[in-house]
Amino acid sequence: MVFRKLPGVSASGMGLRLSQKFVFLLFLSGLVTLCFGALFFLPDSVRLKRIFLSKTETQPVTVGSGSENDAREHLKRAGKEPEHPRGVTSAKGETSTKLKSLIRKPPVSHEATEERLAGDRAQEDLTLSRSRTQSASERVTSPDRGAGSDTFSYKKYTRCLLKPPLGRDGGKPSDPKTEERRVKVKEMMKFAWDNYKLYAWGKNELRPLTRNGHIGNMFGGLRGASIIDSLDTLYIMGLMEEYNDAKEWVQTSLDLNSNGEASLFEVNIRYVGGLLSAYYLTGEELFRSKAMELGEKLLPAFNTPTGIPRGVINLGSSGTSWSWGWASAGSSILAEFGTLHLEFVHLTELSNNPIYTEKVMNIRKLLNKIEKPHGLYPNFLSPVSGNWVQHHVSIGGLGDSFYEYLIKSYLMSDKTDDDAKKMYYGALEAIEANLVQKSTGGLTYMAEWRGGILDHKMGHLACFSGGMIGIGADDGAPDKRQHYLDLAAEITHTCHESYTRSATKLGPEAFRFDAGAEATATRLSDRYYILRPEVIESYMYMWRLTHDPKYRDWGWEAVEALEEHCRVESGFSGIRDVYTMTVSHDNMQQSFFLSETLKYLYLLFSDDDLLPLEDWVFNTEAHPLPIIRKSCLQDEATQDKTVSN
């Protein structure tokens, strides 16, 4: 359309001269520039930016916070071959068997959609976590920040213990024979440690035959597993020079900024548990800040539709996680996601951040909601659907420490966690009804359950259950206390028999009760011993509960067998066949040998006031954690506040 000129209007527009129009446009452009500059560059303009930026232009969240995009990219990669985590068939660090490659589903299914929703929720959780903690190293700077602080007070905690952690005289027994045995165990620890320091310092474990270090791939690039696992053992044994060397390494060389793929379970029980225990025993702020920093790195493993964590996590900035390649249908393992509660509750205590407790309580809620076949907890659960994947039940590998953490969560809560108590005794009742068996020779054992069919096999890992049932005997039905103590004693006796019936007097990885076998391994693949602690663990608990001298005698039998068959020139090694005196060593000094086996032996030959059970629970790596007496801590806080005012 052609517009005609209006009468009385100049060509320069609306009666303005050319120079006036130029000034006006210059002013207008300056005003626009000023407004948009303020919008995009001044602080606190994020909300205003969202008005002008389209949804397609907004930046995605990072994978460490639960991003769906990087997680999907990670799922496309070919998997690596991690070693067996401790809760599985080879368990506790065995390195001889490699797993199949991890196979991850492409992100185009319904599960991927569920992952996206979970990632959004997880991003909110982790953002909340980081805003509350600020960062582990910034939140805390001293063991006690004062009565008015909302963080955990080490001084208040120590005043809530009923007894000194190390007893009146370091737990030294009055009986000379017992003291002589205890000194021998201490010498074994020093020998194992000295050789680790000489030949494998900073590596995860010692190879004593070849005199070099082993790194492995369970810990995602983390180093020094034997150092972290040994901190509390060295401290309670009074090996202070060795303890100080370990502490210095943690301060100068423990790098938590690894970018590897780690077992959530193993990192939690060994590293987080070891650091927490070292802090609670010594008050050294270094251990507290490291534990909190590492704990935060584990949170992305919970970024699933159900909140059930996956077994493998990248500890680097990606924070991606996935299930073990051998696990059925991408499932999570009962013994792994069920063995987080003790450590995560203490991370909440130390950080005043509820997210850690919320994560493990969410696991409880899901388990309470779903149906249990015959009241039993199968070993495989889908972190996507929240349903059981296989109906395989075991109190040994794949299931073991889930049950242990139920009763210990109850005890650690100062017997206030009624939900844990109910779950534990309900599970124990189902175990007795379906799994506990009596052999023709009169031995009590725990079989495995495969969809209603019993496999009359008991693993060495299941031998912890004697001690577990013993420490829970007082808190079940009043009329069942003696029943539980008897059951605990019978199972411990059976596990002792698995030792005495071998040529080396050390127990096999698994033993059977069928085809005429009684507490012996009938398969070549079950005959090895890798310095495991579970039988000795039950001896220690049963000694504390009954003071029957046979448990100390049985422990000494184990010491003699370890010295004769497992001690080599440069450390201790597992053996491949407990039924032959011609010993073949596996060339591995497991870190749990220093953390658990030798610690439980030392406690067995010490007075009960060394780490008394009234004050301490032991995580599944034998790292002692204090009972949380909320009422006492609150009273202490009130008193301190009154004094400060």
Can you give the CATH number for the domain in which 206 is found?
A: 1.50.10.10
The confidence score (pLDDT) of residue 17 equals 56
Residue of 56, 76, 62, 171 whose CA lies nearest to 119: 62
Query: Is residue 104 in a domain?
Result: yes
User: What is the rounded average pLDDT of the residues 523-549?
Assistant: 98
Distance (Å) of CA 67 to CA 123, 197, 321, 402, 417: 7, 41, 12, 30, 34
Give the pLDDT band of residue 295 (cuts 50, 70, 90): very high
Co-location of 415 and 529 in the same domain: no
Which of 363, 393, 427 corresponds to the end of one domain?
427
Does 644 reside within a domain? no
Whether 473 and 565 share a structural domain: yes
225 assigned to some structural domain: no
Count of domains forming the chain = 2
- Smallest CA-to-CA distance from 151 within 139, 159, 162 is with 139
Q: How far apart are CA 127 and CA 299, in angstroms?
A: 11
- Verify that 531 and 588 share a domain, yes or no: yes
User: Which has more pLDDT, 457 or 139?
Assistant: 457
Together in a domain, 310 and 341: yes
Query: Are 359 and 442 in a shared domain?
Result: no
Cα–Cα distances in Å, from 633 out to 152, 340, 349, 629, 637?
Answer: 9, 23, 11, 6, 6
For residues 373 and 457, membership in a common domain is answered with: no
**Which among 349, 509, 518, 596 is annotated as catalytic?**
509
Task: State yes or no: is 285 an active-site residue.
Answer: no
Give residue 20's pLDDT band: very low, low, confident or very high (50, 70, 90). low
> Is the residue at 226 inside a domain?
no
On whether residue 149 sits in a domain, the answer given is no
> Does 487 lie in the same domain as 338?
no
Q: Average pLDDT of 12-33?
A: 57
Q: What is the Cα 443 distance to its own chain's centre?
A: 33
Task: Say if residue 439 is in the same domain as residue 582.
Answer: yes
Does a structural domain hold residue 614?
Answer: no
Residue 315 CA to residue 33 CA, distance in Å, equals 45
Q: Are residues 406 and 441 in the same domain?
A: no
Domain co-membership, 471 together with 589:
yes
Query: 224-276: per-residue pLDDT in tens?
Result: 999 999 999 999 999 999 999 999 999 999 999 888 899 999 999 999 999 99
549 compared with 3, residue with greater pLDDT: 549
Parent domain of 192? 184-210+435-606
In this structure, is residue 145 part of a structural domain? no
Same domain, 409 and 558: no
Domain boundary among 402, 427, 452: 427
Q: Is residue 170 part of a domain?
A: no
Burial class (CB in 10 A: 0-12, 13-18, 19+), 37: exposed
Length of the chain equals 645
- Rounded to two decimals, the pTM is 0.80
Lowest-pLDDT range of 43-47, 346-350, 524-528: 43-47
Last residue of a domain, one of 407, 427, 447: 427
pLDDT tens digits, 203-222: 999 999 999 999 998 999 99
**Tens digit of pLDDT for each residue in 113-161?**
344 344 444 444 434 443 343 344 333 334 443 333 445 678 888 999 9
Contacts of 271 by beta carbon, 8 Å cutoff, 6+ apart: 219, 222, 225, 228, 294
Q: Does residue 350 sit in the same domain as residue 403?
A: yes
